[in-house]
Chain A
Amino acid sequence: MRVSVRMGVGIYIILAVSAFVLALGWKYFALPASSPHLFGIHFYQHVVGDLDGRSCPAYPVCSVYARQAQAAHGWLVGSWLMMDRLIHESDDLQHGTWIVFEGEKRLYDPLSRNDFWLKKE
C-alpha cells in the first residue's frame, strides 16, 4: 500500500512537472500533434518514407510540396493541391520539365507553378 501511494505521488509529480514544462514552452516544441493537419505528412516523411524505399520523381518531392501547400493555403486548399500533384504527376512525367538535382533527373514542379492562379488579382 505504501509503495503504491509513493508510486502514485511520483507519477503525479512527473505529470505536474511535464504539464508545467509544456505549458511554459509549448511554442518551442515542434511536435506533430501541435498541428494535427500536418501529422499525416510528418508521419509519412519520418516513418513511412524511410521504410518504403521509393522516391518521388518530382522536385520538390511530394511530401515537401504538401507541407508547402498546407503552410501557404491551409489544410483544405493545401490538401487539394496535394491531390492535384498526385493526379497530374502521371501525365507530367511523359513530357514534363526536367532538372538534375543531386545527380538525379527530377520533374520540376514547384508549388508556384500550380498555385499562381489562386493568387491572381
Chain B
Amino acid sequence: MKTPLFFAVAMFLVPVIVHASSHGLPQTLLESTPQAMPQSTPQEVYEQAIDMAASGHEKEAIAHLQGAAAVLSVGDIWQERMALAAMFIDMRQHQDFEPKQFDHHSTHARLAGAYLKGSARPEAKNSWLPGVLASIFPGAGHAWQGRWRDAWVAALMVWPMIILTLWAARRRMGPVTLFFAMITAWLWSGSVFSAVSLAERGAFDLYLGWWQGLWQASALPGRPW
C-alpha cells in the first residue's frame, strides 16, 4: 500500500528537484527576493526611498536609506544625503522640530542648520480643547477651529438625537429610551472624535509646511510628499 504512494510522491518531486538544480530557484522565489543593493546606483536607491516616503511608507523608507547609507563610505555625497533624508523623514513621522544626532559637516546639513536657526516654528495647538468643547456642546469643537459648516453638520447630527432621547425618557419609554441613548452616545462620541481628528490634522498641516521648508532649504533632491 505504501509503495505506490512513495512512487507517486517521488514522481512529483524528482522533476521539481532536477528543474531547480538545473535552472536555479523557481521564478516565484526569485521575484520575491529583494534586489541586491550593488545592482542599483546610490541615486536610484535614494529615489526609491523618497518615493516610498511620498507614498506613506515612512518606516520602510528610513530603513532603506539607513541601510544604504551604512553600506556607502563616509564622505560620499549620497551617504550624507541618505543619512540626512532618513533623519528628516523620521522627524516628520514624530512631528519633531529638532533632528537627532545632527552633524553640521555636510553642505546639506549646514543649509538645514541655517533654516532650523532662522525659521519660525508653528505653534503646536493641543487637540484636547476642541475635544472638550465638543463633549460639552456638540458642534462647539468644530466652531472653535473656525470650521462653521462642519459645526452645523455635527450639531445637526447629534442634537436631534439628544432631544429625542430626552423626550423618550420623559415619557418613560424604557427600552426605546435606552436605544436612543445608545445612538446618541455613538453620534456624540463620533463628533468629539471628529473635532480632535481635525485639530490633529490642522496641527500636522502646519508642521508639514514648516518641515517642507526644512527639506527644501537643505537642498536635498526629491520630494517625499
A residues touching B (Cβ–Cβ < 8 Å)? 77, 79-81, 83-84, 86-88, 90-91, 94, 112-114, 116-117, 120-121
Contact = CB atoms under 8 A, between A and B. Distances in A.
Interface stretch (B41-49, B62-70, B142-150): B142-150
Contacts, number: 59
B150 A87 contact: yes
Given A79-B186, A80-B194, A94-B149, A87 B157 contact: yes
Given A79-B186, A117-B204, A84 B197 contact: yes
Interface string B182-193: 000011011101
Given A116-B204, A117-B201, A117-B204, A80 B150 contact: no
Interface of B is mostly: helix
A121 B62 CA distance: 15
A86 B153 contact: yes
B204 A80 contact: no
Contact of B191 (A87, A113, A117): A87
Given A83-B157, A87-B154, A90-B152, 4 more contacts: A83-B193, A84-B190, A87-B153, A120-B95
B51 interface: no
B164 interface: no
Chain B interface size, under 10 / 10 to 19 / 20 to 34 / 35 or more: 20 to 34
A18 B191 CA distance: 44
Contacts of A117: 127, 197, 200-201, 204
Contacts of A114: 197, 201
B31 to A, nearest CB: 27
A116 B127 CA distance: 14
7 contacts: A84-B190, A84-B193, A87-B150, A88-B198, A91-B142, A113-B201, A114-B201
Which one of A81, A87, A120 has the greatest number of beta carbons of chain B within 10 Å? A87
A8 to B, nearest CB: 38
Given A80-B193, A83-B157, A88 B150 contact: yes
B140 to A, nearest CB: 13
